[in-house]
Amino acid sequence: MKKPNDVILQTVTTVISFIIILFSINLFFAGHYTPGGGFIGGLMTAAALVLLLLAYDVKTLNTILPFDYRMMTAAGLLIAVLTGAGALLFNQPFLTHAYDYFNLPLLGETSLHTAVLFDIGVYLVVIGVTMTIIQTIGESE
């Protein structure tokens, strides 16, 4: 059978997937004050990757984004656990967070919160788990 030519799908995907990833990053950083956060942000990023998987295939995606998603899950968990455990160093209860206001060069006065680190962990775990599931099912015969 001749392989169908899906040039329209692939062209649209290259544009759309960037927009989706930008939206997911926006969702991720908006989480503290507006709806959003690590879980939905990670799911959205994974959705963009799944769109790439639909338009291309598993091999192509592994060439452009050579991540090991199992390691990504482990790294996310490690970040989350260590963020919580960081409080132990200051003899505070586990998961006690700290925040402060900083004057950053471009952004001006910004509030930085250690909860973001925890959320980055969640974000990585969600992407890692989703992509591991989809890739494992996709690759099995």
Partner 1 sequence: MINLPLLPILIPLLAAVILMFFPKRIKAQRFISLLAIGATIVASVVLAAEVKANGIQTVNLGSWPAPYGIPLVSDMLSVLLVLTSSILTFFVVWYAMIYMDEKYESFFFYIGVMFLLVGINGAFTTGDIFNLFVFFEVFLISSYLLIVLGGKKAQLRESIKYVLINVISSALFVTAVAYLYSVVGSLNMADISQRISELGNTGIVTVIAIFFLMVFGLKGAIVPLYFWLPGSYSAPPIPVLALFGALLTKVGVYSILRTYTLFFTQDTGYTHEILGVLALLSIVVGVIGAVAYREVKTIIIYNIVVAVGVILYGVAAMTPASLEGAVFYLLHDMVIKAALFLLVGIMIAIAGSSHLKDMGGMIRDYPRIGWTYFVAALALAGIPPLSGFIGKLLIVQGGFEAGDIVGPLLVLISSLLVLYSAMKIFMNGFWGTPKEYHGAKAKSANRLWVPAAALVLIAIFYGVGTEAIRPFITMAVEPLIDPAIYIEAVLKE
Q: Contact residues for partner 1 (CB under 8 A)?
A: 70-71, 73-74, 77-78, 81, 85, 87-88, 91-97
Task: Name, in order, each residue with C-beta under 8 angstroms of 98's C-beta and a sequence gap of 6 or more.
Answer: 113, 114
Rounded least distance, CB 96 to partner 1, Å: 4
Rounded least distance, CB 37 to partner 1, Å: 17
Token readout for 79 is 């970040």
Could you tell me how far CA 32 lies from the centroid of its own chain?
A: 16
Indicate the residue among 53 and 115 with the shorter CB distance to partner 1. Answer: 115
Indicate the residue among 48 and 127 with the shorter CB distance to partner 1. Answer: 127
Token readout for 107 is 């952004």
Give the C-alpha separation, 128 to 43, whole Å. Answer: 10
Rounded least distance, CB 43 to partner 1, Å: 19
Indicate the residue among 9 and 87 with the shorter CB distance to partner 1. Answer: 87
Indicate the residue among 19 and 85 with the shorter CB distance to partner 1. Answer: 85
Could you tell me how far CA 87 lies from the centroid of its own chain?
A: 25
Rounded least distance, CB 88 to partner 1, Å: 5
